[in-house]
Structure 1
């Protein structure tokens, strides 16, 4: 068989997940067929139009309505709305035969085994041999879905579990069926990374796989801890948010967004299907969760969950939080802990963990208990849910947005210290952890020659983490001395005659040190290197110039200094453009203001698909002065034609600046 190419994908099931998956395949250039069931009844509107159940508009109503709702949803599932043209729709009765021309069929129907098996039986009638067939299930064992299928079907069958929303969440769990050909598994893993832009994680056919198994345990564990310690909803969200490298929505806000019913469904599934799980009781629902389910306080979808929007007696909008003892919504005071104050000056999240567990207040106690529970749980999930510990960390980072997975957190506090924390709550270390420490291995990860190695339990030694050879990982270069460093940048030799400039300022904002560092890097590169890359692995590429500094200069009327700062910025971006060596900027996520201007002046921009870039200075009342306004005028002039007055293309470009527009994807930024 030749090299497998994916040009056409069929998605069966057009609900939120199905439509989202269809949109993401359209994003990467695939033609997509989206199918769903035929409605059994006419709507009042259809009756008024005189339509019948045989009309195509009626037969495709469900799939068309679901896709239209997905395209309108926020955040947008498509890089550009025009990509919807790559998606055609149909129904399972009239159009299933079209899968004979597809390369990959993805089933995303309701989580019922009988329905899935029925769909697979129909697929077998039309599917050509060799076509990939995967399910997006998150809970039904593959062996059950495989029953009765042909040898070729089973050979090409696996679970490909996307997380919602499919465009944005990076976890892509691949779970091969019992008879799945290893080459199919390898292809799916590579395709997820290379084309879908995901973190592919190989998982085993166990309840909830990796991401949800660990993620739901972590949340359920917090549910029990919060009651034991008498913490409030807002306190827990303060403790489990950005301070430990997790999303601003932290724990309870995240549950509100995802839906309490979704969490309960997964927790119940693990409790029922994992009788040997030593922490099985953690998946039992606390009384307050059961009451919330009965009251349908499911979160955003029902208007209230752990939080509820309200209007005060004075008419002010406010957000109330659920008191877990009284189950009434109350205004909770801002959460403050002395331990958290100690971490305010620590920018690197990993360096905060040793400080947090030493806290002498309730926060310190909370971290000791919650981390100990997490360590005790993940140590026994190998080899149950994964043979390699790094896959657990990858799954939690990509699926739940944790900056550091469980084993990385454990490394940060120290493996021996983690064991001490576990023993304090009555949990013993797994035999392999004890053996590892006895052999003198004191961390789960190490870096050698610019590559990450992980502790392999079967090998009882460090093994190189796969998939690194095609990448330059800046974190792995920390051990070697930088070519240049100041408080704003670190400049590394990344091999092949190339320098990399990494911003290290807070939120990668651009101030004097960053500009000085960029100029120094260009000097060094022009002297003895072949090229310069500006890239970093921060949460965002750059939030722009240090507006606070500019504001203070204006307030103090230090206009000479202000003019000098602007001139320095302008000179720096022009040096990027006219340097004697090629310059490449690799933006990702927020690339605002000055970050945008640096990108615009490079010889080449290699952008992540999720790049939100724009000149946003007008939003704070100033005109882009670092070359962005000039560049927009220059780009407008490229399209000028003779006597081009009425079209006034310059106005169109300057409206983009004046309205502080931000592109919602790299694709949109180029169009």
Structure 2
């Protein structure tokens, strides 16, 4: 069903409401954000002589909320200019404006009486056919639409975003008793395609899918702490990145979200799920009740499971809560022998068999908690969802788990999972036993590049719907492999398009990756039509392999280092000047060398959540893989008649010199790293590879012609160099930069000015690459640069020296 969404109304401007409003603005939708009228004046308003009827007073709550949201970090909006797509108002003066919108989203306080009152008022003003949904996280959807018009009930359901709405991908769609099937189908598709979400149809059960499983998992851990005599540091060590969960793990996550939020949802499940076989797990432990009474709610109150304070020397220190004494103490380092065994296992999913076989407290912890989790999720089908993949999708998209419970069960082994369940004194659901009796011992399978999942109703594996718009590299890597070395895998995406996928740690770019990239270009030029550079890891690439650069520089192997940098430059130029179209598909961190690769592609198909920048200054060098050359070239291409050309060049210089990193792909257009009219942004990262492939195919079929190497780059010579050198002198004199910062900046200035030419001149790209490489190498001979590289390798943080 075609249903254009041009304007939405968001009712309620709190953290969640403002976040949802910002995300609709992110995707280009006009938003009307409404909230209640204040009932009393502030002291400032009284001093200004305002009254409750003054327009700025009547819209104060909504305007203040939106303003606070736009200032928050991380930002809820892709670009601050997108905020102009949001207009504000109040529920008395502006309620009639909802007749102009296509979708009304209610995000008011979690009280049924208030929600029903809001819906009664909205029903008087909405036009027939307008979608109307609630973002409730716990109130049954069936209660909210009682007494409303038939058209209202037909177009009403729950659409539960997770906070923060921009970053968490879960979008639960919960039908009401009379919701039209076409509405559910539309919302599921819209969430995936336009909002960039993982859309899951949930049932109208307490806490729906994500929070039901997520809160069970957290409550289970709370109880396990006492049983296994564990500290909060130990639990957070075991429930963070080692198992593919966020760095904040368990207790730090609760601090960030707010203990009161967790208590509210846990109590709601306990009160409304009396028949849950693990009902007792939702009883709050004593330490939670005490913390709630003390208002130790986490970040919002300054202390929770962790507390930031200052020690006797005035230095900041993070203290941890001792769950037995309920007193704060210095953090204790958590170490486990089992975790040491997983250090060489890069893929998180492959660690689980090792973790559950651990002989120490960590092994006991994983056996206990995973056994409880496996049993619990099996019994939630068909109560909260009909399919295992729906639960897995919800946990991955809503709680940031890299793998869902059923995927983890597959990893440890079907029989092993049943053993863990039995060891916990639990039983799996009858459908799991039936699955076993049929000889099926995997929840997931892959056929012809598509994912299948066991369907308890069909009693067999069924293709997971909605995959047609996706290319899942994990599913095709082995069957479509064309070439592989230690750094890359090259896959045939079909229709004459190859994909080159980095396989190095954090997708760093070293000799093996460059060799693989060159081979991929060779293969594409010989037998294919185009090339995509993309992957589906957490990050596109964090840059060049600085460990390799450090070793060469320390050993003073400058000839080898020169060749390595030239190889990088030459490979980037092949990306630009091959006979087939090349597409870069950045997402997540795309830094340094990863950014340089993106700069040299024919087209960029960037995920909205791309953090792109040339950050080489942080390790004491300038971009040496063509990045400095490219920013000079792009400045030249933007010179217009009567421009102050120095100002244009300076902007591009500062992009590098300040190591600017965009906080979204849209910001990368401002820095000149992405180019308007050429590069595009996709909101749903799952669609990125398929979209990149489509553009490569389109460019090839349109008659792609190999570009000619540029010899017309206008550089400004001494005119620009003098301006830059005066600027860096002033910055150093003002103590804004160090002496070494100045040295790096002056090297960059020399490259981007085209050297000390006496007058503006046209030069070739190769000329700029040569002086770029010379500048890079000279910086690698500096002790302070080596200190910066070493510090980055050791700590992951830049050094100012």
Q: Same fold (TM over 0.5)?
A: yes
Instruction: Give 1:478 shift.
Output: 3.2
Tell me the TM-score normalized by structure 1.
0.99
- Counterpart CA distance in 2 for 1:647 and 1:518 is 36
Deviation at 1:640, TM superposition (A): 1.3
Counterpart check, 1:57 vs 2:56: yes
The 5-angstrom pairing of residues 91-102 of structure 1 reads 91-102=90-101
Pairing of 1:247-646 with structure 2 (within 5 A) = 247-480=246-479, 482-642=481-641, 644-645=643-644
Alpha-carbon distance in structure 2 between the residues aligned to 1:485 and 1:157:
51
1:105-163 CA distance string (max 9 Å, x none): 00000001111111101011111000000000011111110100011000000111001
Secondary structure of 2:132 counterpart: strand
2:224 is matched with which residue? 225
1:186 and 2:180 are equivalent in the alignment: no
How far does residue 351 in structure 1 lie from its aligned partner after superposition?
A: 0.6
2:79 matched to 1:80? yes
Task: Compute the displacement of 1:312 (Å).
Answer: 2.0
Cα separation, 1, equivalents of 2:117 and 2:379:
36
* Structure 1: segments with no counterpart, 5+ residues: none
- Report how far residue 466 of structure 1 moved: 0.4
Map of 1:652 onto structure 2: 651
Task: Measure, in 1, the Cα distance between the counterparts of 2:201 and 2:504.
Answer: 35
Which digits, 9 at most, give the CA deviation of each residue in 1:251-303, with x for residues without a partner? 01100000011001000000000001000110100001111111111100010
Tell me, what secondary structure is at the counterpart of 1:352? helix
**Counterparts of 1:54 and 1:611 in 2: how far apart (Å)?**
44
Query: What corresponds to 2:215 in structure 1?
Result: 216
Contact 2:169 2:196 (8 Å CA) reproduced = yes
Q: Tell me the CA shift for residue 432 of structure 1.
A: 1.2
The one-character-per-residue Cα deviations of 1:328-367 (angstroms, maximum 9, x if unpaired) are 1111321110000000000011110000000000000000
Count matched residues: 670
The residue matched to 2:501 in structure 1 has which SS?
A: strand
Is the 2:318–2:331 Cα contact (8 Å) retained in structure 1?
no
Q: Do the aligned partners of 2:379 and 2:428 also contact (CA within 8 Å) in 1?
A: no
Whole-angstrom distance in 2 between the partners of 1:332 and 1:230: 16
SS of 2:104's equivalent in the other structure is strand
Cα distance change on mapping 1:99 and 1:643 into 2, 3 Å? closer
Distance 1:124 1:481 in 2: 54
Q: Quick one: distance in 1 between partners of 2:627 and 2:646?
A: 22
CA distance in 2, matches of 1:5, 1:122: 24
Residue 430 of structure 1: how far off its partner (Å): 1.7
TM-superposed CA distance for 1:647, in Å, is 4.7
Q: Distance in 2 between matches of 1:424 and 1:383?
A: 24
Quote the Cα distance in structure 1 between the aligned partners of 2:642 and 2:158.
60
Deviation, structure 1 residue 643: 5.9
Map residues 21-170 of structure 1 onto 2, 5 A cutoff.
21-170=20-169
Give the Cα separation in 2 of the matches to 1:41 and 1:332.
Answer: 45
1:567-610 deviation line (CA, Å, top 9, x unaligned): 11111111011110111111101100111111111111000000
CA separation of 1:153 and 1:481: change in aligned 2, threshold 3 A: closer
1:3 CA drift (Å): 2.0
Distance in 2 (CA, whole Å) between partners of 1:96 and 1:264 is: 34
Q: Distance in 1 between matches of 2:621 and 2:656?
A: 11
Distance change in 2, residues 1:479/1:647 (3 Å): closer
What does the per-residue CA deviation read over 1:481-503, in whole Å, with 9 as the maximum and x for residues that have no partner?
Answer: 51111111001111111111011
SS of corresponding position for 2:481: coil
Aligned counterpart, 1:244: 243
CA deviation vs aligned residue, 1:4-50 (integer Å, no higher than 9, x gap): 10001000000000111111101111111100000110111111111
Gaps of 5+ in 2: 671-801
Distance 1:87 1:446 in 2: 44
Q: Identify if the C-alpha distance between structure 1 residues 58 and 379 changes in structure 2 by more than 3 Å, giving closer, same or farther.
A: same
Per-residue Cα deviation, 1:464-492 (whole angstroms, up to 9, x for no partner): 00011121110111341511111110011
2: CA distance, partners of 1:644 / 1:174 = 52
- What is the RMSD computed on CA atoms of the aligned residues? 1.0
CA, structure 1 residues 581+145, in 2 after alignment: closer, same or farther (shift >3 Å)? same
Note the C-alpha offset of 1:621.
Answer: 1.1
Render the CA deviation track for 1:510-549: whole Å, top value 9, x for unaligned.
Answer: 1111100000000011110111111100001111111121
How far apart are 1:208 and its partner, in Å?
A: 0.3
Aligned to 1:612, the other structure's residue is in SS state: strand
Contact 2:76 2:164 in 1 (8 A): yes
User: Residue 313 of structure 1: CA displacement?
Assistant: 2.3
Q: How far apart, in 2, do the equivalents of 1:52 and 1:330 lie?
A: 50
Q: CA deviation at 1:178?
A: 1.0
Deviation at residue 311 of structure 1 after TM alignment: 1.8
SS for the counterpart of 2:494 is: coil
Residue 646 of structure 1 deviates from its aligned partner by 6.5
Q: Distance in 2 between matches of 1:583 and 1:346?
A: 32
Shift of 1:177: 1.1
**For the pair shown, which has the larger CA radius of gyration, 1 or 2?**
2
Q: 1:642 to 1:93 in 2, by over 3 A?
A: closer
Task: Judge conservation of contact 2:480–2:493 (CA < 8 Å) in 1.
Answer: no
1:257 and 1:540 map into 2 onto residues whose CA distance is 24
How far apart, in 2, do the equivalents of 1:44 and 1:312 lie? 38
